[in-house]
Chain A
Amino acid sequence: MSQSLAKECNEAKERYDTCFLKWYSEKYLRGVSTSNNNECSALFNEYNKCLQVALKERGIDKLLDEAREDFKENDAQLLGKKKSGYITARWDLVTRLHELAIFAWDYGVVSRAAKGFAALTLVFLLVFIPVERLATREANLNDGLMRVFWPADLPRSDLRGVVVGWRNSALDVFVLAILEEVEPRNVETALKLGTLTRYAPHPVNRIYELCGQSSMHVLGLSNHPESVEVDPSWIRVTTGSTRRVPAVSCARASSIQIILFDRPLPGRMQYISLNPIALALGDKQGSFRNDIVEEAEEKEERLRQEKKKKLVEKLKQHSIIKRTPSPKEKALVKVVNQINWAWELEKLLQKNVSRIGTRPRRALSVSERVVESATTLRDIVWVWLWNLMTVYVLPVIKRLFVLGLMAHRVAAEVLLTVLEWRARPGYAALKDISATAQQVEIRLQQFCYWPMQYVTLRLRKNDWESVTTSHPDYIRFYNSLWLVANDVIIGIALGSYIIDNADWVAWKISDLLSRYTVDALQSSISWLMGWPAGLKLNGELAEFLGDLFLWVIEYWSSCIETLQPVLPHMIWFIGFSSFAGASMPIALFSDLLSILTIHIYSFYLASARIYHWQLNILTSLFHLFRGKKHNVLRNRIDSCDYDLDQLLVGTILFTLLFFLLPTVVVFYLNFAFARMAIISLKAGFDTILSFLNHFPLFALMLRIKDPGRLPGGIRFELRDTKDFRHAVNDSSSSSSLSTSTSVIQLKSIPLNFKAMFHQYFQMGQRIRKHYLSPRVVLCLLTGKFVPPLNRKNLYSLQYSMLPARRAGILDMWDAVNSLPTPKRKVGPVWWVPSTLGNSGGGINGMAGGYERRRVGRHI
C-alpha cells in the first residue's frame, strides 16, 4: 500500500484500502456483490474528506477536478456499475503521476532531459545524416553498374520475347536465350516447374552445379513497348535483325557493360578458359625431383627461386589495401562455365519453348495415322534386329577383346618390371642405360595408359557436351595415338627399305665403322706420334702412349672383324623391329653406336685420367716451387718451410712433368673431341626420337583447323560505341539515354605456338645448360670426366604424356568393366487413342525432330 498524498490522511486511507481490497477480492471478483453501496463507501467518504482538506491546502484540487472532467465520459462508458472502484484505482494513479511530476520539477529532470534531447539532435545532424548520405551514395555507386553478358550469335528478331538466363548477382546477368511470343509470367512458372529443361538428355542438376546457380531466371523483356510495366530489376532489350548490338536498359542501373561473346560450340569441342589448356600431364613435378641427385645448376636455380620468393613475400607486405572482392569479381570463373554452357542450354530451352502455356491440340488425321503406324512397324523391326546384335553378339566380342587386352597388360607388366628393375635403389635401371629399353618402356607405358584414357573419354559421352574437363585428355589421347600410327607408318617404310637392302646397309655400316672408329683414329694417333703441326712433343712418351692406344685399337678392330658376318643379320633384325615404329630402329642404332664406340669411350676415360692426374701433380708441385702448400683441413694455401732436398726433388719433378704435359694434352684432346662427336651424334638420335614420340601434331592440326578447341585465355576488346549510341537514340527509349553504356567483346585467345612447344624449349634449355655451361668447359680443360646428361632428365619430355604412376592391372580391369553398356533401344509403343493430347504439343515444327519418334506425343 502506498502512502497517501497527505500524511494526515494515511490512517483513513489505510482503513479504506484494507476494506476495499477485502471487498474486491472476496466479493466483487466472485460476483457476490451486486450493489454499489458496498460496505467500504463510508470509509471512502471519510478518507475523501480528509484528503479534500489536504488538497485544498496545497491547491491541487482544481487540477484534479479538470482531470476528472476529462475522464468522466470514458469512465461512464467503460465502467458502468463498478464506477466507484475504478475511480479509486484511477485516482491512485493520478496522484502518483502528480507526485512524480513534482519530484521531477524539484530535481531539474526536465532541463536535463531537454539538454539530452538537444545533444542527441546535434549528434544526429552531425554524424548520422552525413554517414547515411555517404552510405546511400556508396550503395548507388555499387549498384549502378550493370553487367550483361550477351551472346553475339543469338538469333536476332523483331518479335517480342522474354529474356532468360542466369542472374549471378543483383546487377550481373547472363543472357542465355530469348523465348519469343510467350508471356513472362508463364516463363517464370515454367522455369520454376522445370518445364523448360524437360527431356534433357542428361541430368539437369549437372547444369546448375557447373554454372554455379540454383536456377535460371527471367531477366527481362525484349522488344516490348515502354508502356509494359516490368520489375525494376528486369532489363529491357531492343534487338532486331539490323542491329548488331542490342540496346539494353534497366531501371536500376546507372551504367551498363554489355559483354558480347561468341558462344563456343560444344559439339565441336570448342570452349573457353581463363588459363591456357595444358597439353602435358602436370602431376609429377614433385616425384621427379626426389630421385635425382641434385646437381650444381639445379641448386643454383633453387636458390634463385628462394630469393625471388622472399622478394615476393616482401612485396606482399607492401600492399596497403586489402579489398574484399565483390560478387561480380568472384563470378568470373562461373561466367566462363556459363559461356561454355550457353549454346547447349539455349538449344534445350528453345526446344521446350512450345511447352509453355496452354495451346490448342488436335488429333491426327487419318493419313497421318497411316504414316505413323507404318514408321512404327519399320522401327519395330529395326529395334528387334538391333537388340539381337547388342544382346547376343556384341557382349561376346567385347568380352573376348577385354580378355585379350588383359593378357597383353599382364605381359606388359612383366616386361616393365624387368626394365625398371634396379639392383639397388639409386642404381641405374636398364631403361636408364639403353635407348631401346627406354623406347620399349615408353610404348608399354602408353599401352597401359590408353585403356584408362579411353574409358575416361567414353564416360564423356554420358555427360553433357559442355563439360570441358576431359578435352585436354581427348587431345592427349589422340595425339599419342596419331604419333604411334605415324611412327608405325614411317617405320614400315624404313623397315622394308632396310630389309630389302640389308647387305648394302650392313656393308655401309661396317665401312663407316672401320673408316671412322678405326682408320681415322689410327691415322690421327700416328700423326700425333710424329711431330704434329711442327710441335716438338716428347718422342718417347708419345711413342709409348701411341703404341698403347694403337695396340688396343688393333685388338678392337679384330673384334669387329669377327662381328662382320653377323652384321647383316643384325641389320635385318633392326629392319624387322622397325615395323613396331621408326623410333625402334633409331633407338637400336643409338645403342649400337654406343656399343661399337666403346673403345673411344675407354680411351677418353684413360687419357682424361692421366691428364687430370698430371695437372693435379703440377699444381701441388707449383705450390712447393713457391714455398707453399695446400692445407686440406682449412682448404686454403698456407706457406710452408720445405727442406732443400724436398725443394730440389719437387722442382726437378715439376720441370719434368711440365715438359711432358703437351704430349699428354694432345692425346687427351684427340679423344675428347672424338667423345664429344659421339655424344652429339647420340643427342641427334635422341632429338629425332623425341620428335617421333612427342611432337604435338594433333594439337598443331587442331590449331590450324579450329583454334577454338585450343583455348589459351580470354581477351576483351572495347567496341566503338558510336554506332551503338546511334542505336540507342533511335530506340526511342528515354531512360537508356541517361545510362552510359560500354560495349565489350569477349574473345578467346587460341593457344600460341610457343606454349605448344614449351616442353621442347624446356628440354633445349636443359641440354644447353648441361653441355654449354662454363662448368663443362672447365671440366674439359682440367680433364675431369664430363658426366653425360641423365637420360631421365632428357626424357622428361616424353613422359609428360604419361601419368607418374601407371594404373595397376586390377585398376584397369575395373575400368574396362565399368564401361556403360550401349543403351537398348526402347521399342515403340503402339499408338493408343486414349493417350492423345496428354502433353503440350508445339504450335509449329520447332520441337519436331526430337519428338516425332515418340509415339503418343503429337505435334
Chain B
Amino acid sequence: MLTTNPHLYIRRPSPTTAEFTVTTCPRLTIPLRLALLLILLLRISTITAAITTIYARFFLDPSSPHVQPAASPLSLLIQGDIFPLLTHALYTLHASPAGQFLFSTLEPVPSWALLLSSSAAIYVALFAQLHTTESLLVLRGLGIQTSTGGGGVQRARTRFIPTEKIRDVLINEAFRGFEVRYYLVVVVEGEEDVVVVFPKLLPRKKIVEAVWRGVRGCLFEGEGNGMNGRAEKGHV
C-alpha cells in the first residue's frame, strides 16, 4: 500500500522545459497521508527513545539526584541555554513512566550492544527512505539534470550536464540478473563513463521510451515534437 511500481510523472509548464519524475510513491490519498504521518511520528519517537536510553545509561549518575534547574524551561529557551534545557528535557523523558519502562526492560542488555543498537536505530530512523524518487529535468538551451535520492534528511544528489557536452541520449539494454533492462543513457562529451538516468529504479521500457521521446522533443531545437524518433540501441 505504501509503495507502488515505479511510475512516471511529467511536469511541462512550457514545451521547452520538462521534468520527468519516476517515483514509487503512489498518489497521495488521505489514508496514505495518515500512514505517512504515522511513520514520521514513529521515526521521531524512535530517535527520542534511542537518545533517552543512551542518556540514561551513559550520562545519568544514579547516585546523585537530579537537580532541577533554577529557571523554568521556557526562560531557559528564551535565554538560549541549550545544554541545561536539553539535560532537563532528557531527564523528564527518562523519569516519565514510558522512560522508566524502557530503562527497566533494557537493564540486562550490555552497554556496548545498547550503544550499537541505539545508534543503528537513529541512523535508520534518519536516513531510511520509504520511497525512491528520481527525476530528469530537461531545459532547452541549457542542458539536462539528473537527480537521485533525497528523502529523509538528505538532499537529492544532482548532476547537471550542459547541452554542449551532450553527445547523445539513447536507450540501451543490459543484463541484470536474469532479466534484460532497458535504460536511458546520456553520453557525455569527454567523459569515460556514460550517465545512467534513473539509476536506482531502472524503470520499465515503456517509461524509458516515453522519457526518451520527451527528452528528444524538448531538448533539441528543430526536431519538432520528437514523435518521429526511433529508439536507438547501442552497445556501450
Contacts and interface: CB of A to CB of B under 8 A. Distances in A.
Given A309-B192, A316-B167, A319-B187, A138 B222 contact: yes
A308 interface: yes
Interface in B149-168: 158-160, 162-164, 167-168
B134 to A, nearest CB: 14
Chain B interface size range: 20 to 34
Interface in B199-224: 220-222, 224
Interface stretch (B10-18, B79-87, B125-133): B10-18
Nearest to A741: B14
A147 B19 contact: no
B137 A716 contact: yes
A714 B167 CA distance: 20
Given A257-B141, A741-B13, A311 B236 contact: yes
Contacts of A318: 168, 234
B162 A329 contact: yes
A332 interface: yes
Contacts of B220: 323
B137 A718 contact: yes
Nearest to B135: A718
Contact of A256 (B14, B158, B194): B14
A509 interface: no
Contact of B141 (A141, A172, A319): A172
Contact of B160 (A141, A257, A308, A714): A714
A714 B139 CA distance: 14
Nearest to A169: B141
A141 B137 contact: no
A744 B17 CA distance: 9
* Candidate in B142, B145, B159 with the most chain A CB atoms within 10 angstroms: B142
B61 interface: no
Contact of B221 (A257, A326, A713, A717): A326
Contacts of B232: 320
Given A145-B140, A741-B13, A329 B164 contact: yes
A318 B192 CA distance: 15
B1 to A, nearest CB: 27
B11 to A, nearest CB: 6
A396 interface: no
Contacts of B16: 145, 255, 257, 742
Interface string B8-37: 000101111101000000000000000000
Contact of B17 (A319, A329, A332, A742): A742
Contacts of A172: 141
A315 B187 contact: yes
Given A318-B234, A320-B232, A716-B137, A330 B164 contact: yes
A715 B158 contact: yes
Contact of A332 (B11, B164, B187): B164
Contacts of A138: 222
A741 B13 CA distance: 6
* Candidate in A138, A312, A320, A716 with the most chain B CB atoms within 10 angstroms: A716
A328 interface: yes
Contacts of B147: 715
Contacts of A328: 141-142
Interface string B221-233: 1101000000010
A718 B222 contact: no
A788 interface: no
A256 B140 CA distance: 11
Nearest to B221: A142
A740 B13 contact: yes
Contacts of B167: 316, 319
A145 B160 CA distance: 21
Interface residues of A, number: 41
Contacts of B168: 318-321
A742 B13 CA distance: 5
Interface string A291-321: 0000000000000000011011001101111
B137 A255 contact: no
A749 interface: yes
Interface string B111-149: 000000000000000000000000001011111010100
A721 interface: yes
A713 B192 CA distance: 19
A108 interface: no
Contact of B145 (A256, A332, A716): A716
A325 B158 contact: no
Nearest to A746: B142
B14 A255 contact: yes
A274 interface: yes
Interface string A317-361: 011110101101110100000000000000000000000000000
Contacts of A321: 168
Contacts of A717: 137
B234 A716 contact: no
A147 B141 contact: yes
A329 B220 CA distance: 11
A257 B192 contact: no
* Candidate in B13, B16, B143, B194 with the most chain A CB atoms within 10 angstroms: B13
Interface in A705-729: 713-718, 721
B141 A142 contact: no
Nearest to A717: B137
Interface in A125-149: 138, 141-142, 145, 147
Nearest to B224: A141
B236 A742 contact: no
Contacts of A332: 142-143, 162, 164
Contacts of B145: 715-716
Interface in A252-293: 255-257, 259, 274
Nearest to A332: B162
B160 A715 contact: yes
A172 B108 CA distance: 70
A54 to B, nearest CB: 69
Contacts of A315: 187, 194, 234, 236
* Candidate in A141, A329, A744 with the most chain B CB atoms within 10 angstroms: A329
Contacts of A323: 220
A714 B161 CA distance: 10
A329 B164 CA distance: 6
A740 B160 contact: no
Contacts of A320: 168, 232
A721 B224 CA distance: 24
Contacts of A147: 141-142
B158 to A, nearest CB: 4
Interface string B42-65: 000000000000000000000000
Contacts of B17: 257, 718, 742, 744
Contacts of B139: 257, 716, 744
B120 to A, nearest CB: 22
B204 to A, nearest CB: 24
A759 to B, nearest CB: 21
Contacts of A311: 236
B163 A325 contact: yes
Contacts of B224: 141
Given A319-B168, A718-B11, 16 more contacts: A142-B222, A145-B141, A147-B141, A255-B16, A257-B17, A259-B142, A274-B162, A312-B192, A318-B168, A323-B220, A329-B163, A715-B145, A715-B147, A715-B160, A718-B19, A742-B17
Q: Which 10 A/B pairs are nearest by Cβ-Cβ distance?
A: A740-B14, A328-B141, A742-B17, A742-B13, A715-B158, A255-B14, A329-B163, A742-B14, A319-B168, A721-B13
6 contacts: A141-B224, A145-B221, A255-B16, A315-B236, A319-B187, A718-B11
